[in-house]
């Protein structure tokens, strides 16, 4: 019989017993050979004809299936055991010749005798030892094994197969018949020719071995017993001894081995074969070594248990950059040409556009000539080329002192593969102006060094002067062209992949004299103003607050004068040069309201039908100091102080009276109607002492930061005794369980009760489901606002676990609106929207981001008050069709901001986007956003700039608010506080809701008359409506801005003072205001 064990260099042999969790490379070859042999045998059986009494036939497919199942079972059995390293196996030996005592002619008893044991049925032919000296007195027969070198073993196992005859077979002549024998061992540091002394103190007893049920009492019945014992070993080797004291024994086979945890490769670390510990309970720690082309991220270790199985793997290795992990073979494969692997990616990735790799195993791909990678980009990002020059450079307007130039953005560059570059750097193109002949006094709008608008206005130009203006286009890699040129002279910078040794790169200014950028050029000449320039501006008189000025008429003019414009400003506030001005038709003016002891600058210019002339030379004068100002200030201060004291006194009296009245009223109403917010006492739950729900801090605390979710529940929610709750009906179902309507008895006497909503947890739910269920309660328990669902308490000490909230009679907002389609006035809808915005403003102030604001998660009570609900986005989205799965979980795409979908960047600004969708849902009476579009279509459309159209009969102001909430740049979206203010203004001005998005008046054609070739300004209200900023009509009226001249001189500071704080709206208003210069 051919053995499956193969002797190794130490004379050992090995049986593979492999645990399926620790299958290793060492055993792979042997197992593969056996599998191939078994499969080949199976196919041979299938193909070979079998002879039957009816002739020959082949094996059926069912038989083939049985054979395959047998192969799988065989492999599974091979994969569920540990390794045995065999040191001695008598069944492999042709002769034994062990040392015996007594032995020889002088022996008083026959002792142990070597013979063969054969069983043809079982295919056995073993060399064995037999002893049967039952007819002698004082039998003491010893049999010693040869010296067994333990090798690396810490614990040896000995397996004995033997038979024992029953003493009943020797009824007459058995003088010392026994049915047991002793197994002993002796450790030694060297193998000797003579065995060690066999006295009792030399050998240590392992066990006295009996046959158990294996004794036989007839010569024809032979039962083979198997006994396995183990010992811990320390010295070089060991002798085993068998001691017989009068039994009839046959030692058929002896096998000595030790158990190892097999060699394995896990987490790309190889762990060598490891013998088990000296004791079965001892665990051996094995350090691993990284596979080729891998490096450790944490020292890999594996623990070998006493049963030969691995457990508790810690640490591991990862493939080096340029090498890809092969999870099946646990190897690191070199990346081929045209691919790379950097720390930013997990596998060999094709080179990004406009780059390639010049060798195998590349950690990154170099940019192709003419393309560059921004230093802040990862190595997995594409390379880009600098933009082309701007096109269609046009002079829109020029007069004596100003000019307006516009252009078109550069055409998109083609990538090396012929595709257009992505929008990343094209959308980041900025422009820089270079103007020769421009003096330092020339002002630019936009005024920043670089800007992304495609139009610029130059003022304070000199008349009759030729200017050459260059518009340079740059992007994030323009400055790298010059650095790449220098990189040929320095080894610090790789070709087209610019790197820096510190962060100072981001502060490198873009000097057009040093960096070569593409540009367009235009030449123009300003008009003459010599005939309409005011001269000899002079001050006639000046006091502490007033000034009188006079000037001469222009020497001559080819057009009639309309009026003079005089402007003045404090000398120290040059940025306020256009802050104050007046118009007059006379050559003199009286100015009032100046500051005392302040130096002012004055200028004047004239206006003709051809436009404004240039300003006169600047003159300066200082106002006087008033003699009685100190005394007046003292009297004024005393008067103000007295008024403040009187006002505070009346205010305190009013507050005391109000508080007393409100407390009395609240106590009366408590007994008359149901209360939503229960003032539960500290002993409301049995034997429960709770802490206050809120301290002085109003910041939201994430329950996930608590190691024990029950701690968060105890801190943020009240425990309610289940005996005070009555469930009346099931009104819905959720992920965790049912939603019911019920009654809750309220303190102090627990006689009165109120309607509540009850969420129950399904029986048998997992621990994770219970934690998620209670986490939502921990979140709700931190909020106390009229427009946020109120948590009455929780039941956690009895089953089912319950969350008790206030009851909202009309259910979810989307369902409520669909049922009542068209039944509400616009003002009623605004009140509902205002409540939602107010609740979200409160959550935003608490630093809480909802992440799932939608009409379905807003509840409506009987008074039509809307309240924010559903604070469990960490759960799976119930409607899978509305969810988009990303690496971080599921996202409700139709309500989620683009940055949250792309980068999982959830902020209050992303909640504002969701609020805009809720606003659309309300105005469309519960219509589904984006209708039946797929999630991918929604994402692509929003990215391209598409926004939901205005619902039918939606007021223009409300749709503009939706568009503001859907600004792509999250910093340009309004805050919830400003949304509340906007809705309050709309509610106070119902006339602003009359113009709808669908009405003919909303197209703006009635505002500007373009039939005569030029725009005509009619009124401030119409102008604001034309530029879609009609919400600010009230702000302009309060600031008394009624004509185009005043609006054209607006500044960003003035808009902020007027209460217009959104940066995007400021830019839009100022941009349109500058266009009025062509109208004036």
Pinpoint the alpha helices (H) of 240-299. none
For residue 955, give the DSSP letter. B
CB 276 within 8 A of CB 307: yes
DSSP assignments along 204-246, one per residue:
EEEEEEE-TT--B-STT----EEEEEEEE--SSEEEEEEEESS
The pair of structure tokens assigned to 658 is 């109000």
Q: Which helix (H) or strand (E) holds 969?
A: none
C-alpha to C-alpha distance for 772 and 971, rounded to whole angstroms: 32
**Cβ neighbours of residue 193 closer than 8 Å, sequence gap 6 or more:** none
Biggest CA pair distance of the chain: 161
C-alpha to C-alpha distance for 34 and 27, rounded to whole angstroms: 11
The answer to whether the annotation marks 889 as part of a ligand binding site is no
CB 139 within 8 A of CB 109: yes
CB 616 within 8 A of CB 604: yes
C-alpha to C-alpha distance for 505 and 484, rounded to whole angstroms: 14
C-alpha to C-alpha distance for 346 and 350, rounded to whole angstroms: 12
The answer to whether the annotation marks 759 as part of a ligand binding site is yes
The answer to whether the annotation marks 731 as part of a ligand binding site is yes
What's the burial of 34, exposed, middle or buried (CB within 10 Å: 0-12/13-18/19+)?
A: middle
C-alpha to C-alpha distance for 228 and 305, rounded to whole angstroms: 19
The answer to whether the annotation marks 1003 as part of a ligand binding site is no
The answer to whether the annotation marks 647 as part of a ligand binding site is no
Task: Tell me if residue 634 falls in helix, strand or coil.
Answer: helix
CB 924 within 8 A of CB 813: no
Give the CA distances from residue 491 to residues 494, 499, 500, 572, 1046, in Å, rounded to whole numbers and listed in that order: 7, 11, 12, 51, 59
**Cβ neighbours of residue 70 closer than 8 Å, sequence gap 6 or more:** none
Phi-psi region of 931 (alpha: psi -120 to 50; beta: other; left: phi over 0): left
C-alpha to C-alpha distance for 926 and 1040, rounded to whole angstroms: 41
C-alpha to C-alpha distance for 508 and 483, rounded to whole angstroms: 11
The answer to whether the annotation marks 927 as part of a ligand binding site is no
Measure CA 317 to chain center.
25
The pair of structure tokens assigned to 861 is 């009570």
Give the CA distances from residue 1031 to residues 340, 1000, 1036, in Å, rounded to whole numbers and listed in that order: 54, 19, 10
C-alpha to C-alpha distance for 866 and 831, rounded to whole angstroms: 9
The pair of structure tokens assigned to 800 is 């089912």
Nearest to 879 by CA among 866, 898, 895: 895
The answer to whether the annotation marks 251 as part of a ligand binding site is no
Rounded to 5°, angle at Cα 359 from 353 and 363: 65
The answer to whether the annotation marks 732 as part of a ligand binding site is yes
Q: Tell me which residues are annotated as active site.
A: 852
DSSP assignments along 1008-1044, one per residue:
---TTSS-----HHHHHHHTT-GGGHHHHHHTT--SH
C-alpha to C-alpha distance for 387 and 369, rounded to whole angstroms: 15
For residue 1001, give the DSSP letter. G
Give the CA distances from residue 968 to residues 225, 333, 796, in Å, rounded to whole numbers and listed in that order: 82, 42, 44
Task: Tell me if residue 275 falls in helix, strand or coil.
Answer: strand
Give the CA distances from residue 1062 to residues 262, 613, 732, 978, 979, in Å, rounded to whole numbers and listed in that order: 68, 35, 42, 9, 11
**Cβ neighbours of residue 714 closer than 8 Å, sequence gap 6 or more:** 690, 691
The answer to whether the annotation marks 586 as part of a ligand binding site is no
The answer to whether the annotation marks 736 as part of a ligand binding site is yes
Nearest to 802 by CA among 789, 793, 815: 793
Annotated binding site for ATP: 731-739, 759
Give the annotated binding-site residues: 731-739, 759
């Amino acid at each position: 019989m051919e053995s499956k064990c193969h002797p190794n260099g130490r004379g050992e042999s090995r049986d593979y017993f492999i645990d399926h969790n620790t299958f290793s490379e060492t055993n792979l070859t042997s197992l593969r050979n056996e599998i191939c042999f078994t499969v080949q045998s199976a196919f041979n059986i299938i193909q070979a004809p079998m002879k039957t009494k009816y002739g020959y036939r082949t094996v059926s497919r069912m038989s083939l299936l049985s054979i395959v199942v047998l192969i799988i079972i065989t492999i599974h059995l091979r994969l569920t055991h540990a390794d045995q390293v065999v040191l001695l196996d008598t069944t492999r030996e042709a002769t034994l010749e062990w040392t015996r005592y007594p032995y020889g002619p002088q022996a008083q008893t026959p002792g142990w005798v070597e013979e063969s044991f054969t069983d043809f049925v079982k295919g056995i032919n073993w060399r064995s030892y037999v002893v049967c000296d039952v007819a002698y007195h004082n039998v003491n027969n010893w049999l010693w094994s040869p010296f067994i070198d333990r090798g690396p073993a810490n614990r040896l196992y000995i397996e004995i197969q033997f038979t024992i005859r029953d003493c009943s077979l020797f009824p007459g002549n058995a003088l010392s018949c026994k049915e047991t024998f002793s197994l002993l061992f002796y450790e030694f540091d060297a193998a000797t020719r003579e065995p060690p002394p066999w006295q009792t103190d030399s050998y240590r007893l392992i066990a006295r071995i009996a046959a158990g049920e294996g004794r036989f009492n007839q010569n024809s019945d032979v039962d083979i017993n198997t006994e396995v014992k183990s010992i811990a070993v320390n010295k070089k080797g060991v002798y085993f001894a068998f001691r017989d004291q009068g039994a009839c024994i046959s030692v058929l086979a002896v096998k000595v081995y030790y158990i190892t945890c097999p060699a394995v490769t896990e987490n790309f670390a190889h762990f060598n074969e490891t013998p088990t510990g000296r004791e079965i309970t001892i665990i051996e720690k094995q350090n691993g070594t990284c596979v080729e082309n891998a490096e450790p991220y944490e020292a890999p270790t594996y623990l070998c248990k006493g049963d030969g199985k691995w457990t508790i793997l810690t640490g591991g290795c990862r493939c080096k950059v340029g090498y890809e992990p092969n999870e099946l073979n646990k190897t690191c494969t070199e990346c081929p040409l045209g691919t790379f692997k950097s720390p930013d990616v997990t596998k060999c990735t094709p080179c990004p556009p406009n780059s390639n790799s010049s060798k195998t195993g590349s950690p990154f791909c170099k940019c192709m000539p003419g393309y560059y990678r921004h230093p802040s980009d990862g190595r997995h990002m594409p390379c880009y080329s600098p933009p082309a020059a701007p096109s269609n450079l046009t002079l829109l307007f020029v007069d004596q002192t100003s000019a307006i130039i516009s252009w078109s953005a550069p055409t998109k560059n083609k990538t090396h593969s012929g595709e257009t570059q992505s929008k990343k750097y094209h959308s980041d193109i900025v422009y820089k102006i270079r103007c020769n002949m421009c003096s330092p006094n020339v002002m630019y709008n936009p005024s920043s060094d670089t800007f992304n608008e495609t139009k610029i206005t130059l003022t304070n130009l000199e008349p009759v002067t030729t200017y050459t203006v260059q518009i340079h286009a740059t992007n994030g890699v323009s400055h790298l062209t010059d650095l790449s040129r220098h990189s040929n002279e320095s080894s610090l910078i790789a070709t087209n992949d610019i790197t820096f040794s510190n962060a100072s790169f981001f502060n490198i200014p873009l000097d057009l004299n040093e960096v070569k950028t593409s540009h367009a050029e235009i030449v123009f000449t300003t008009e003459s103003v010599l005939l309409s320039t005011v001269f000899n501006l002079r001050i006639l008189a000046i006091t502490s607050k007033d000034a009188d000025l006079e000037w001469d008429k222009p020497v001559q003019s080819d057009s009639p004068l309309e009026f003079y414009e005089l402007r003045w400003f404090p000398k120290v506030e040059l940025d306020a040069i256009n802050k104050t001005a007046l118009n007059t038709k006379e050559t003199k003016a009286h100015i009032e309201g100046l500051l005392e002891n302040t130096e002012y600058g004055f200028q004047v210019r004239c206006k003709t039908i051809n436009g404004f002339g240039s300003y006169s030379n600047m003159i300066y004068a200082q106002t006087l100091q008033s003699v009685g100002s100190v005394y007046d200030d003292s009297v004024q201060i005393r008067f103000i102080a007295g008024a403040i004291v009187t006002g505070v006194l009346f205010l305190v009296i009013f507050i005391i009276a109000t508080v007393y009245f409100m407390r009395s009223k609240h106590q009366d109403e408590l007994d008359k109607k149901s209360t939503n917010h229960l003032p539960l006492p500290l002993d409301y739950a049995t034997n429960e002492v709770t802490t206050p729900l809120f301290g002085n801090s109003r910041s939201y605390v994430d329950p996930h930061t608590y190691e024990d979710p029950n701690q968060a529940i105890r801190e943020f929610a009240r425990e309610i005794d289940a005996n005070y709750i009555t469930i009346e009906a099931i009104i819905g179902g959720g992920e965790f369980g049912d939603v019911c309507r019920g009654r809750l008895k309220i303190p102090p006497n627990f006689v009165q009760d109120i309607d509540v909503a009850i969420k129950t947890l399904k029986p048998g739910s997992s621990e994770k489901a219970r934690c998620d269920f209670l986490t939502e309660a921990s979140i709700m328990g931190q909020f106390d606002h009229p427009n946020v669902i109120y948590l009455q308490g929780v039941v956690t000490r009895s089953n089912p676990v319950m969350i008790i909230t206030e009851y909202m009679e009309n259910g979810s907002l989307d369902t409520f609106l669909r049922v009542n389609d068209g039944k509400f006035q616009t003002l009623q809808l605004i009140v509902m929207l205002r409540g939602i915005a107010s609740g979200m403003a409160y959550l935003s102030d608490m630093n809480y981001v909802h992440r799932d604001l939608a009409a379905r998660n807003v509840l409506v009570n009987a008074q039509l008050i809307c309240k924010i609900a559903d604070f469990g986005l960490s759960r799976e989205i119930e409607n899978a069709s509305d969810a988009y799965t990303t690496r971080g979980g599921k996202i409700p795409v139709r309500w989620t901001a683009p940055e949250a979908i792309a980068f999982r960047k959830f902020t209050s600004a992303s909640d504002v986007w969701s609020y805009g969708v809720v606003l659309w849902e309300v105005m469309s009476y519960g219509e589904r956003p984006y209708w039946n579009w797929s999630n991918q279509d929604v994402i692509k459309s929003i990215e391209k700039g598409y926004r939901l159209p205005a619902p039918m009969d939606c007021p223009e102001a409300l749709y503009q608010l939706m568009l503001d909430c859907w600004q792509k740049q999250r910093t340009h979206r309004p805050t919830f506080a400003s949304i509340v203010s906007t809705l309050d203004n709309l509610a106070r001005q119902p006339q602003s809701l009359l113009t709808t998005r669908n009405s003919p008046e909303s197209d703006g054609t009635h505002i500007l008359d373009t039939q005569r070739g030029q725009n005509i300004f009619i009124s401030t209200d119409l102008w604001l409506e034309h530029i879609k900023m009609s919400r600010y009509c009230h702000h302009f009226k309060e600031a008394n801005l009624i004509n185009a001249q005043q609006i054209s001189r607006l500044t960003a500071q003035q808009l902020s003072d007027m209460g217009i704080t959104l940066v995007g709206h400021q830019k839009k208003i100022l941009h349109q205001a500058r266009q009025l210069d062509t109208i004036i």
